[in-house]
Amino acid sequence: MRELYDVSASEHNPKWENMICRKEHIGRKENDIRSEFYRDYTRIINSRAYRRLKQKTQVFFATRNDHVCTRMEHVNNVLSISYGAAKYLGLNEELVMAIAVGHDLGHSPFGHSGERIIDRITKEYLKTDFWHEKNSLRVIDYSETIQNAWGQEENLNLTYAVRDGIVTHCGEIERKQLVPRTEYIELEDIKNASSVSPYTYEGCLVKAADIIAYLGRDIEDALRLKILNSQDISRLDEILKQYKKADEAMNNSTIINSLVTDLCFTSKKEHGICFSDEGFMILKKIKAFNYEYIYKNKRLRKYEEYAELIIQSLFDVLMSFYKEGDTLNYIKTEYSTIYPELASSFSDRLKKYSIMENRPDNLKNKMLYNLSSKEDYIIAVIDYISSMTDMYAKKLFDEITSF
């Protein structure tokens, strides 16, 4: 136990000052009892972006079943797994809590289907790409705000270690070992998901917990929704039969327990957060099973077509709102009666984040858009759509397609 205590995120770590630094000074009350990372955790769970996760797709969109996993449940599953493992290994539990609950704040509506659709639009109009890890960093650095003790809206302003764990969290693990990098880098310069290792062992642990959390739970949901059948489960049981007790059922609990205990017993300071050869083989086989029988299921392909119709339609309508030099007034005069919810909601967002005179005194957040620039306006549209829940995107789509 506590194999990794000597390399944990604590004051004895030579990286400590880099780990706890923030972009800007943060106000503190005299009686604040929170650590740096627990402060980040509370800022995240009290943000509106976190609250929206309860209506964002994990895999299955807008089901009528209350027991199918949402994005919020997923991040809390990641928290549960990474917290228990961190406690066992001697890592900083508060840091893994903050990374875990914040790691998907930049996920688009409709899960990875929505992410692919927005990426295509972003490539076409901005000649860059959209991936949710990078967008999560943008959300926590620029888009998301929280009220301070004086009633002012300010950016989350999280520590470097939390921001780093969020942008490097991609759960598509291709190696059985995860070792943190030594370099302190500008996180905005990271070009691709999984191209950079986390800066901390805690970040590596959340990265591993992410894939453990979704593999078993996606199987459970697929069974509940009859995406999988008994023959498919027999295939899974065959994968796991050498890796679990004979009397254990093939379910989410068995998968998580098997992989978490393997990770905890195998991880060492000299080779990082790591699975055994057998554990990593099992993980890869379960992941391959999920892709073949769940993520590529033809029922999900039809859903992606539906998600594309909604996102593309919203993008096209919002692009029609643009009028150089007079966009806000144009939206108000031309569209407020036609699309009242869309016009009002988008205008409020532009007012909050655009460069303009006479901003309300309570807005202390960063200004992101110059509305004289069409490129900035396109970024604003993409930021707005990517922040939506599934249900809100569907609500706005219903508005623009109803008469």
pLDDT at 385: 98
Q: Is the pLDDT of residue 31 over 80?
A: no
Give the pLDDT band (50/70/90) at residue 252: confident
Residues 222 and 333 in one domain: no
Residues 282 and 385 in one domain: no
Percentage of residues in the chain with pLDDT exceeding 70? 97
Q: Is the pLDDT of residue 364 over 70?
A: yes
Residues 284 and 162 in one domain: yes
Q: How far is residue 389's CA from residue 395's CA, in Å, rounded to a whole number?
A: 10
Residues 344 and 333 in one domain: yes
pLDDT at 246: 60
Residues 195 and 338 in one domain: no
Give the pLDDT band (50/70/90) at residue 241: confident
Mean pLDDT of the chain: 92
Instruction: Among 264, 295, 326, give the residue marking a domain's end.
Output: 295
- Candidates 362, 345, 363; CA nearest to 354 is 363
Tell me if 88 is assigned to some domain.
yes
Residues 157 and 304 in one domain: no
Ramachandran quadrant class, 325 (left: phi over 0; alpha: psi -120 to 50; beta: rest) = left
Percentage of residues in the chain with pLDDT exceeding 90? 71
pLDDT at 355: 94
Tell me if 363 is assigned to some domain.
yes
Tell me if 117 is assigned to some domain.
no
Residues 241 and 375 in one domain: no
Please report where in the chains the tokens 């875990």 appear, as a residue. Answer: 100
Q: Are the beta carbons of 49 and 156 closer than 8 angstroms? A: no
pLDDT at 300: 85
Instruction: Among 295, 312, 334, give the residue marking a domain's end.
Output: 295
- The whole domain housing 384 covers 298-400
Statement: the pTM of the whole predicted model exceeds 0.85: yes
Q: Is the pLDDT of residue 195 over 90?
A: no
- Candidates 340, 388, 401, 400; CA nearest to 61 is 388
Residues 266 and 394 in one domain: no
Q: Are the beta carbons of 314 and 396 closer than 8 angstroms? A: yes
Tell me if 131 is assigned to some domain.
no
Residues 241 and 306 in one domain: no
Instruction: Among 295, 317, 338, give the residue marking a domain's end.
Output: 295
Give the pLDDT band (50/70/90) at residue 54: very high
Residues 225 and 343 in one domain: no
* Range of lowest pLDDT (16-25, 216-225, 264-273, 339-348): 216-225
* Range of lowest pLDDT (155-169, 283-297, 316-330, 380-394): 283-297
* Range of lowest pLDDT (91-100, 252-261, 320-329, 368-377): 252-261
Q: Are the beta carbons of 204 and 164 closer than 8 angstroms? A: no
pLDDT at 288: 92
Residues 260 and 317 in one domain: no
Looking at the structure of the chain, the number of domains it has is 2
